[in-house]
């Protein structure tokens, strides 16, 4: 029976992604997952895990891009254009990973908002005051924990953009000035970028750890 339900639900899940501005589309999406036994709580946990994993991937990519940038600034001779192409490729991967993180964070926010709204609405249906108070407290506690998580996620997400902008500035400068003087000018910003990347990585690691704690609490 499960296989028959899955055959019907899977096409719906593929065709109806979570769209922040499309409430009706999300209702269909959630209903489809409920038929498979997954509530909004389960979907939120899944989205948080995905955002955490994408942050971990982006963190490593920022490290790699920084390493390639440092290799260029320490360039002593040879084919400079080849170095530029490698650096540019790493920058493009870095931007892609950062965009993935931003998409994941938006999806987490969307599901969390829908889950909390549903939870609050269902709490009003309790006829037992004690159970209602207990559920209200659980809701508020979860909101607090989620607030800490999403604040860290958004903080690290926002910090990616200035770092990407600096990478882009230097990659374009190198593209337009494939010579020794260009390398010399890049050396002046190498230390600053390294500091920014290290600060970003620290924030991302805090966000990843908070995501792990949130997942454990939700389970």
- For the stretch 56-88, pLDDT in tens is 999 999 999 999 999 998 887 667 888 899 999
**78 is a domain residue:** yes
pLDDT at 10: 44
Please tell me the distance from the alpha carbon of residue 7 to that of residue 206, in angstroms, as a whole number. Answer: 40
**139 is a domain residue:** yes
What are the two backbone dihedrals, phi and then psi, of residue 170, each rounded to the nearest 5 degrees?
-75, -35
Contact predicate 21/61, CB 8 Å: no
**175 is a domain residue:** yes
Q: Nearest-CA neighbor of 189 among 168, 161, 160, 158?
A: 168
pLDDT at 2: 41
Domain encompassing residue 171:
39-218
Q: Nearest-CA neighbor of 141 among 52, 214, 43, 212?
A: 214
**Residue 219: CB partners within 8 Å, gap ≥ 6?**
45
Total tally of structural domains belonging to the chain: 1
pLDDT at 76: 74
Q: Residue 92 has which token pair? A: 């493009």
String of DSSP letters for 145-201 = HHHHHHHHHHHHHHHHHHHHHHHHHHHHHHHH--SHHHHHHHHHHHHHHHHHHHHHH
pLDDT at 41: 95
Contact predicate 207/150, CB 8 Å: no
Contact predicate 170/186, CB 8 Å: yes
Contact predicate 163/195, CB 8 Å: no
**2 is a domain residue:** no
**29 is a domain residue:** no
Contact predicate 38/204, CB 8 Å: no
- How many DSSP H helices and E strands does the chain contain? 6, 0
pLDDT at 15: 42
pLDDT at 18: 47
Q: pLDDT tens for residues 135-157? A: 999 999 999 999 999 999 999 99
Contact predicate 101/157, CB 8 Å: yes
pLDDT at 7: 45
pTM of the model: 0.85
pLDDT at 179: 84
Please tell me the distance from the alpha carbon of residue 143 to that of residue 151, in angstroms, as a whole number. Answer: 12
**119 is a domain residue:** yes
Contact predicate 218/41, CB 8 Å: yes
**18 is a domain residue:** no
In this prediction, the residues of the chain whose per-residue pLDDT falls under 70 are 1-21, 77-78
pLDDT at 21: 53
Contact predicate 11/21, CB 8 Å: no
């Amino acid at each position: 029976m499960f296989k028959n339900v899955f055959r019907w639900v899977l096409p719906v899940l593929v065709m109806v992604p979570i769209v922040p501005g499309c409430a009706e589309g999300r209702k269909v999406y959630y209903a489809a997952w409920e038929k498979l036994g997954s509530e909004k709580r389960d979907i939120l946990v899944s989205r948080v895990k995905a955002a955490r994993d994408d942050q971990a991937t982006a963190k490593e990519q920022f490290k790699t891009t920084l390493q390639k940038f440092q290799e260029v600034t320490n360039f002593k001779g040879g084919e400079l254009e080849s170095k530029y192409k490698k650096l540019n490729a790493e920058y493009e991967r870095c931007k892609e990973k950062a965009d993935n993180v931003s998409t994941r964070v938006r999806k987490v926010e969307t599901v969390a908002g829908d889950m909390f709204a549903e939870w609050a609405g269902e709490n009003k249906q309790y006829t037992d005051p004690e159970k209602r108070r207990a559920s209200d407290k659980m809701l508020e506690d979860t909101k607090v924990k989620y607030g800490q998580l999403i604040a860290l996620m958004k903080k690290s997400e926002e910090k990616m953009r200035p770092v990407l902008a600096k990478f882009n500035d230097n990659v374009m400068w190198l593209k337009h000035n494939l010579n020794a003087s260009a390398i010399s000018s890049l050396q002046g910003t190498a230390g600053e970028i390294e500091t920014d990347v290290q600060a970003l990585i620290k924030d991302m690691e805090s966000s990843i750890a908070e995501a792990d704690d949130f997942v454990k609490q939700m389970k």
